[in-house]
Amino acid sequence: MVARTQADLYVATDGNDQWSGTLPEPRADGSDGPFASIAGARAAIAQLRARGRSGEVVVLIRGGRYYVEPAVVTGIARDAAEPVDRVTYAPYADEEPVCSSGVDIPGWRQRQDWYLTLYLPPLLP
Query: How would you classify the pairing of strands 57-61 and 9-11?
Result: parallel
Q: Which of 81, 64, 78 minimizes the C-alpha distance to 15?
A: 64
| Secondary structure percentages of the chain, helix, strand, coil, to 5 | 20, 20, 60
Q: Dihedral through CA 100, CA 103, CA 109, CA 112, nearest 10? A: -40
Hey, where are the domains in the chain?
A: 9-117
**pLDDT given at position 114:** 67
Instruction: Identify the three-state secondary structure at position 70.
Output: helix
The rounded percent of the chain whose pLDDT value lies above 70 is 82
Contact 34, 62 (CB under 8 A): yes
Rounded Cα distance between 12 and 2, Å, is: 20
pLDDT tens column, 17-75: 999 999 999 999 999 999 999 999 999 998 998 898 888 899 999 999 998 887 777 77
pTM for the whole structure: 0.77
**pLDDT given at position 102:** 75
**Distance, CA of 80 to chain centre:** 14
